[in-house]
Structure 1
Amino acid sequence: MATAAQWLEGARPRTLPMAFAPVIIGSAAAFGLGSFKPVNAILAAIVSVLLQVGVNYANDYSDGIRGTDDERVGPLRLTGSGAAPARQVKLAAFACFGLAMLAGLALVILAQTWVLLVVGVGCIAAAWGYTGGKNPYGYRGLGDVFVFVFFGLVATLGTTYTQANQLSAAAWIGAVSTGLIAMALLMANNVRDIPTDSVVGKRTLAVRLGDTAARIAYVMMLAVAILLPLFLAADYPWVLLVLLLIVTGVSPSRRMLTGTERGSLIPVLKQTGLINLAFSILFATGVVLSRTPA
């Protein structure tokens, strides 16, 4: 029986910045539109976190029963390590998805954005289909698209829309940037797992690109994400604060390009997650300062 600490580790708390970042950015964009709503933002954060944890447990279950994690290099997986029965991990994933749906329903009712009910159902289906089911798209190199769309575009734009009932350039650019950083995090994770994923037939984008190209792709994703807000400088001059992250991106980029041992890439995951969180805070600060009267 897995301990509470093992369940927490299985939830992969290091990935939570990927859940909070889009909500912070989307809420700042709503503020820029003159319509920040704290309660809606909190509900959006609850939905995002529950979906992230649910995806982590779902991946743990699906990869575990397929044997993908049998020779895993990295943090604990509950199913693959035998720390928890597969059925319990699956139930934990569905419990998170169910709670996310309830919080999402409350948000939709409060914001009167009924069209997002369909989006919510799509999120749950995509979260499970990532590595679950008979033909998981995560095994065909489409997992990166899922992360960009749902933890970048949908989470950010949905947060803004449920507060302001409209979108802005800041919302779109923030969504693309945080989506790219989330993709970079997944790329770092999958580069580490290229040898084992290749053996079990998990054709992630990293596997398809090959080791060298996948590492370069990571660096390019970070670079574009950090530089993209330059397009907002005319309307939101303070958003240039995000350029401070150029310095923090050097270390994980260098490690990705030069690290030969797969285990040496593990710190890159934490660093990338923190970069995503820092980006969201700096971006949000820039938008708020740019819209606050002197």
Structure 2
Amino acid sequence: MATVAEWIEGARPRTLPNAIAPVLAGAGAAAQLGAFSWWQSLLALLVALALIVGVNYANDYSDGVRGTDTDRVGPMRLVGSGAARPKAVLAAALTSLGIAGVLGLVLVALTGTWWLLALGALCIGGAWFYTGGRRPYGYAGLGELAVFVFFGLAAVLGTVYVQAKTVSWEALGCAVAVGSLSTAVLSANNLRDIPTDRGAGKRTLAVLLGDAGTRALYLALVTVPFVITVAMGLGHPVTLIGLAAALLLVKPVRTVVSGGEGLGLIHVLRDTGLAMLAWSALTALALVLA
């Protein structure tokens, strides 16, 4: 039976910035529109956290029962390692996704944004079918696109919309920037797993692009937010403080460029996530001041 520490590691806490960053950026964009609500932002954050924990457990379960995680570098795999029974991990995944659904329903009901129920259902479906079902889209090279849409566009713009009932160009910029960084985290993860994914028949985008192509994609993705920062700075000079987040990317970019692989790429995921969190916090603060 898995220990509490193993369950926590199985939830992949290093991915939590992917849930926190879009809500931070969205809250800042809502404040810039004069519509910030602390409790609506908090509910949006809880939805995002429950969703990402749910997708992590669902991924652990689906990959584990397929045998994809039998020989894998990286964080604890509950099913693949045999530490937890598949049914227990499935229950944890469904519970987390269920909590996300309930909290999302509460947020929608309290704000009257009922059409967002469809978006919430799409997010939960996306979380499950990433590696679940007969034809998981994560096995067809679509994982990065889904992360960009769900943890970038949907999470940021959804956070803004429930508060302001509209979105702005600044909000859209934040959504693209956070989505790019979140996608970069997944790209680094899949870069590390190219050998084992290829052997297991998991055709991620990294497997399709190959080692060199995936490294180029990562570099392009981490560049996008700072191009957006410069563009936003033309209208709101204070947002240029977001450029400071680039300092956190020096080490991971150096590792990717120099050909780091396997365990050497683990810190790239962590540091890219921290850079995303820093960019979102700094930009949100700047939008509040703007």
Superposition TM-score, scaled by structure 1 size: 0.97
Matches within 5 A, 1:103-182: 103-182=103-182
Which string of whole-angstrom CA distances, capped at 9 and with x for unpartnered residues, describes residues 217-269 of structure 1? 10110011222122212332111111112222121011012134411001111
Structure 2 residue aligned with 1:214: 214
Give the Cα–Cα distance (whole angstroms) in 1 for the partners of residues 171 and 121 of structure 2: 22
**Deviation larger for 216-225 or 136-145:** 216-225
Give the Cα–Cα distance (whole angstroms) in 2 for the partners of residues 206 and 185 of structure 1: 12
1:204 equivalent in alignment to 2:204: yes
Amino acid at match of 2:268: V
Which stretches of structure 1, 4 residues or longer, exceed 4 Å deviation after superposition? none
Give the Cα–Cα distance (whole angstroms) in 1 for the partners of residues 288 and 227 of structure 2: 19
* Residues 243, 279 of structure 2: 8 Å contact kept: no
Indicate the SS of the match to 1:34: coil
* Residues 259, 265 of structure 1: 8 Å contact kept: no
Structure 2 residue aligned with 1:228: 228
- Aligned-pair CA distance for 1:286: 1.1
Matches within 5 A, 1:41-60: 41-60=41-60
Give the Cα–Cα distance (whole angstroms) in 2 for the partners of residues 253 and 82 of structure 1: 34
Matches within 5 A, 1:231-270: 231-270=231-270
Go from structure 1 to structure 2 and tell me whether the alpha carbon gap of 1:261 and 1:123 turns closer, same or farther (over 3 Å shift). closer
- Aligned-pair CA distance for 1:157: 0.2
* Residues 152, 179 of structure 2: 8 Å contact kept: yes
Which string of whole-angstrom CA distances, capped at 9 and with x for unpartnered residues, describes residues 43-72 of structure 1? 000000000000000000001111111110
Structure 2 residue aligned with 1:102: 102
Give the Cα–Cα distance (whole angstroms) in 2 for the partners of residues 29 and 166 of structure 1: 11
Matches within 5 A, 1:46-85: 46-85=46-85
**Deviation larger for 241-250 or 13-22:** 241-250
- Aligned-pair CA distance for 1:200: 1.1
Give the Cα–Cα distance (whole angstroms) in 2 for the partners of residues 250 and 144 of structure 1: 22
Indicate the SS of the match to 2:62: helix
- Aligned-pair CA distance for 1:190: 0.3
Give the Cα–Cα distance (whole angstroms) in 2 for the partners of residues 88 and 247 of structure 1: 41
Indicate the SS of the match to 1:81: coil
Give the Cα–Cα distance (whole angstroms) in 2 for the partners of residues 260 and 55 of structure 1: 27
Indicate the SS of the match to 2:166: coil
Structure 2 residue aligned with 1:39: 39
Identical counterparts, % of pairs: 52
* Residues 246, 275 of structure 2: 8 Å contact kept: no
* Residues 160, 171 of structure 1: 8 Å contact kept: yes
Structure 2 residue aligned with 1:9: 9
Give the Cα–Cα distance (whole angstroms) in 1 for the partners of residues 236 and 109 of structure 2: 32
* Residues 238, 285 of structure 1: 8 Å contact kept: no
Indicate the SS of the match to 2:79: helix
- Aligned-pair CA distance for 1:178: 0.3
Which string of whole-angstrom CA distances, capped at 9 and with x for unpartnered residues, describes residues 160-202 of structure 1? 0000000001110000000000000000000000000001111
Amino acid at match of 2:205: L
* Residues 152, 176 of structure 2: 8 Å contact kept: yes
Structure 2 residue aligned with 1:277: 277
Superposition TM-score, scaled by structure 2 size: 0.98
Amino acid at match of 1:97: L
Number of matched pairs: 290
Q: Which runs of 5+ in 2 are unaligned?
A: none
Give the Cα–Cα distance (whole angstroms) in 2 for the partners of residues 38 and 75 of structure 1: 33
RMSD: 0.9
Give the Cα–Cα distance (whole angstroms) in 1 for the partners of residues 37 and 186 of structure 2: 31
Amino acid at match of 1:141: G
Give the Cα–Cα distance (whole angstroms) in 1 for the partners of residues 19 and 107 of structure 2: 16
